[in-house]
Amino acid sequence: MSKAKKEAASILDGFKAFLMRGNVIDLAVAVVIGAAFTNIVNSVVKGVINPLVGAIGTQNLDHYSLCIQSPCVPASDGKAEQGVLILWGSVAGAALQFLITAAVVYFLMVLPMAKYLARQEARKKAREGQAATEPTPVTEVDVLQDIRDLLVAQRNGSADGAVTQQRTAGPDGR
């Protein structure tokens, strides 16, 4: 195989390894979910936020502008035919939509997931702490094993009334 073919195969192997890592798949899923989530946020802005803003001014923030060089004559597309027109309402609307999106994502996704993970971690630590501090209770099986060991020892003639064989440690070392 020539050097160029080996290099191309190496690049393709590296690209394949990159695609097969979980990060790329997670990112693709996040983008798709984000695109679908955009529709929800846009509906909230259009159906809830814009009417609230409309109670103060207009429901469409795109109409708010500032003329910094007269004469400002707005065209039908919202831009200026003459003068310099700053469309600060569009920027305010985009910023408001971003804040709403961030708030919805935080309060509906991030915060509940963080609380859930914290509870899971606390339960795990509680289980580990409980297992370390509590002695293992003696069960019927343990008593029956002791009796069996005692009977075996008596049959072999090596017992003088005490169990000489120790129980094997359980999975936690006790």
Instruction: With a cut of 90, say whether residue 104 has pLDDT above it.
Output: no
Which pLDDT does position 117 carry in this prediction? 92
Percent pLDDT > 90 in the chain is: 6
Axis crossing angle, helix 3-20 with helix 22-44, rounded to the nearest 10: 50
Domain boundaries, the chain: 1-59, 61-154
**CB atoms closer than 10 angstroms to residue 50:** 17
Mean of all residue pLDDT scores within the chain: 77
Q: 71-93 as b/e, with b when 16 or more CB fall inside 10 Å?
A: ebebeeeeebeeeebebebbeeb
Which pLDDT does position 1 carry in this prediction? 64
Q: State how far the Cα of 129 lies from the Cα of 3, in Å rounded to an integer.
A: 59
* pTM beyond cutoff 0.75: no
Which pLDDT does position 162 carry in this prediction? 52
Which pLDDT does position 58 carry in this prediction? 67
DSSP 8-state code for residue 88: H
Identify the band that residue 78 occupies on the pLDDT scale cut at 50, 70 and 90. Answer: low
Of residues 172 and 136, which shows the higher confidence score?
Answer: 136
Q: Work out the average pLDDT over 47-64.
A: 75
Identify the band that residue 164 occupies on the pLDDT scale cut at 50, 70 and 90. Answer: very low
Q: Work out the average pLDDT over 132-158.
A: 82
Of residues 27 and 132, which shows the higher confidence score?
Answer: 27
Of residues 174 and 143, which shows the higher confidence score?
Answer: 143
Of residues 128 and 104, which shows the higher confidence score?
Answer: 128
Which pLDDT does position 110 carry in this prediction? 84
Q: State how far the Cα of 73 lies from the Cα of 75, in Å rounded to an integer.
A: 7
Of residues 30 and 44, which shows the higher confidence score?
Answer: 30
Look-up: residue for tokens 């400002």? Answer: 72
Which pLDDT does position 133 carry in this prediction? 66
